[in-house]
Structure 1
Amino acid sequence: MLNSGLSSSLWLFSQNYVEAYKNQLNHLPLVEIDEQWPSSCIVSQFDEQFNTWLPHKVESTLSFENVEKALDVELHTDICQYFTTIFSDSIAANCEHGELSLLFAWSEEDFARLQENIIGHILMKRKLKQKITVFFAITDDENFILSIDNADGSVWVEGIGCEPHKKLADSLNEFIQQLTPFVYQGDHPK
């Protein structure tokens, strides 16, 4: 069963990120121009190096059925919903535990790549005889990711190749509601 609260929280957070970005830098979020990586998120060209972009609601029917069938596993509905609600570049955020970047598919083509990465992650978990998790964010420490426990949908910090070790929230919706947007100003023109 789909969690409409999660979809609403994701969309609201993405819009709050855009507003924070515009308030701090006086323009829409930027992404490097890459003709090989088109997306419905792209709004316009900002300069020779960057395009402006906005999160875009997924209007096509994206599904993890192929992943579930290939791995003979049923993914938690929050995992499926998280990755099929919006197309977006990664979105930087802060939580009480530090900085992170929420990962999303940039386009339908990127969604296929994301599915391959999730398959690889689950196969690694099985090989290590660990419970199944699915990543959805990276942290400011490259050795740790944020993941969703496939059994109950809880949100955890886990070291790469390790069991989750620190529970952050009982659900993804609860976790998203705790976040505040973070606008990184390092690489982008002001």
Structure 2
Amino acid sequence: MQDQVEMALGELFERCRRTGQGLLAVHDPAAPSPAELLPAHQGRVGWQPWRRPEPGRFDNVADALAMQVHPSLGAFYGHYFAGNLEVCFKGLFLSLLQPWNQDDYERLQQNQIGHQLMLRKLGLPASWFIASCRDEQRLVTLDNTSGEVLLERLGKGRIGVLAPSLASFLRRLEPC
């Protein structure tokens, strides 16, 4: 399962690269990334996915929350430093989130913990955010129990299932 997610993410990076639109991120000299392709131009920098020599882990998140974390989450966020990807899923425009560097990875983990604490307070099932929508009240998440990819309304929970697994979801995404 984890290998399928890692492979599907790599395939998505390649589909995005082949579009010829270029992979661009906002350039912040104070937050360099090994994914950056220099030089920066007009406040933007090109990037390519940079495979981490040692994958990042989510054990610290599981320990902090005293719960198991679905293994697809670590496979999705732990293998690359990259920019966010602008993608489409059946007409739904998404920004697929990726950590830019180690500091961003740690911030992402902290935000995931905060997300879980909010869900607990609201009495909603555990899920992990993986993409934002143009409508800021909706987000794409990974269900912690089933591994399904969900569309959720912020603070309200599940709207519906987008895909039965993260790997199948990633394979169906198209660059925008």
Band the TM-score falls in, shorter-chain normalisation: over 0.9
| Residue 53 (structure 2) pairs with residue 59 (structure 1) | yes
| Residue 164 (structure 2) pairs with residue 170 (structure 1) | yes
Tell me the equivalent position of 2:125: 131
| AA at the equivalent of 2:16 | Y
Deviation at 1:180, TM superposition (A): 0.7
Tell me the equivalent position of 1:43: 37
| Paired residue total | 176
Identity value in percent: 28
Deviation at 1:30, TM superposition (A): 2.1
Distance across 2 between alignment mates of 1:49 and 1:68? 37
Q: What secondary structure, in the 3-state scheme, does the structure 2 residue paired with 1:16 have? A: helix
Instruction: Specify every segment of 5 or more residues in structure 2 that has no aligned partner in the other structure, as ranges.
Output: none
Q: Which deviations, in whole Å up to 9, do the C-alpha atoms of 1:64-100 show, x marking residues without a partner?
A: 1111111101100011111112211110111114111
Q: What secondary structure, in the 3-state scheme, does the structure 2 residue paired with 1:142 have? A: coil
Assess if the C-alpha contact under 8 Å between 2:55 and 2:79 holds in 1: no
Assess if the C-alpha contact under 8 Å between 1:156 and 1:169 holds in 2: yes
Q: What secondary structure, in the 3-state scheme, does the structure 2 residue paired with 1:165 have? A: strand
Tell me the equivalent position of 2:12: 13
Instruction: Specify every segment of 5 or more residues in structure 1 that has no aligned partner in the other structure, as ranges.
Output: 183-190
Distance across 2 between alignment mates of 1:133 and 1:48? 37
Deviation at 1:102, TM superposition (A): 0.4
Q: Which has the larger radius of gyration?
A: 1
Distance across 1 between alignment mates of 2:98 and 2:173? 16
Assess if the C-alpha contact under 8 Å between 2:23 and 2:83 holds in 1: no
TM-score by length of 1: 0.88
* Residue range with higher mean Cα deviation, 76-85 or 117-126: 76-85
